[in-house]
Amino acid sequence: MAGGTFDKTVGKVRPGTYVNFKDTTQESIKGAARGIALIPLINTDYGPAGEMITLTGAAPDAASAKLGYSVYDSDAAGNMLLIREAFKNAATVIVYICTEGTKAASGTGGGLTATAKYKGTRGNALSYSVAANPVDGYDVEVYLDGSKVEAYEGISDASALADSNYITFDESGSTGLTAVAGVALTGGTSGTTANADITAFLEAADNVKFNTMACPFDESALLAAVKTKVKYMRENEGKKVQAVVANMTSPDYEGIINVTNSYELDSGPLTAVQATAFVAGMTAGATYTESNTYRTVEGAVAVVDAKSHEEAVAAINAGEFFFSVSEQGAVMVEYDINSLITFADGKGESYRKNRVLRVLDAFHDSLVLNFPPNKYDNNTTGWDIMEGVGRSILKLYYEAGAIDGVDYDNDFLVDRENSAGDRTYFDVGIQPVDSAEKLFFTVATR
* CA separation for the pair 100, 192 (Å, rounded): 8
Band (pLDDT 50/70/90 cuts) for residue 28 is: very low
According to the CATH classification, is domain 36-98+193-333 in 3.30.1370.220? yes
% of residues, the chain, pLDDT over 70:
93
pLDDT at 3: 59
SS (H, E, C) the chain: CECCCCCCCCCCCCCEEEEEEEECCCCCCCCCCCCEEEEEECCCCCCCCCCEEEEECCECCCCHHHHCCCCCCCCCCCHHHHHHHHCCCCCEEEEEECCCCCECCEEEECCEEEEECCCCHHHHHEEEEEEECCCCCEEEEEEECCEEEEEEEEECCHHHHCCCCCEEEEECCCCCCCCEEEEECECCECCCCCHHHHHHHHHHHHHCCCCEEECCCCCHHHHHHHHHHHHHHHHCCCCCCEEEEECCCCCCCCCEEEECCEEEECCEECCHHHHHHHHHHHHHHCCCCCCCCCCECCCEEEEECCCCHHHHHHHHHCCEECEEECCCCCEEECCCECCCCCCCCCCCHHHHEHHHHHHHHHHHHHHHHHCCCCCCCCCHHHHHHHHHHHHHHHHHHHHHCCECCCCCCCCEEECCCCCECCECCEEECCCECCCCCEEEEEEEEC
pLDDT at 172: 80
Q: What are the tens digits of pLDDT across the range 91-116?
A: 999 999 999 999 999 999 999 999 99
Band (pLDDT 50/70/90 cuts) for residue 18 is: low
Look at 25-29, 157-161, 351-355, 359-363 and tell me which has the smallest mean pLDDT. Answer: 25-29
At the second CATH level, the architecture of 106-184 is Sandwich (2.60)
* CA separation for the pair 115, 100 (Å, rounded): 15
* CA separation for the pair 183, 112 (Å, rounded): 10
Band (pLDDT 50/70/90 cuts) for residue 267 is: very high
Average pLDDT, the chain: 92
Band (pLDDT 50/70/90 cuts) for residue 23 is: very low
pLDDT at 17: 53
Band (pLDDT 50/70/90 cuts) for residue 30 is: very low
pLDDT at 14: 74
Q: Which residues contact 81 (CB under 8 A, 6 or more apart)?
A: 74, 270, 274, 277
Domain boundaries, given as residue ranges, for the chain? 36-98+193-333, 106-184, 349-428
Query: Residue 21 pLDDT > 80, yes or no?
Result: no
Q: What are the tens digits of pLDDT across the range 71-84?
A: 999 999 999 999 99
Band (pLDDT 50/70/90 cuts) for residue 85 is: very high
Q: What are the tens digits of pLDDT across the range 131-169?
A: 999 999 999 999 999 999 999 999 999 999 999 999 999
Query: Residue 238 pLDDT > 90, yes or no?
Result: yes
pLDDT, greater one: 19 or 425 = 425
pLDDT at 234: 96
Q: What are the tens digits of pLDDT across the range 360-404?
A: 999 999 999 999 999 999 999 999 999 999 999 999 999 999 999
Q: Do domains 36-98+193-333 and 106-184 have the same CATH topology?
A: no
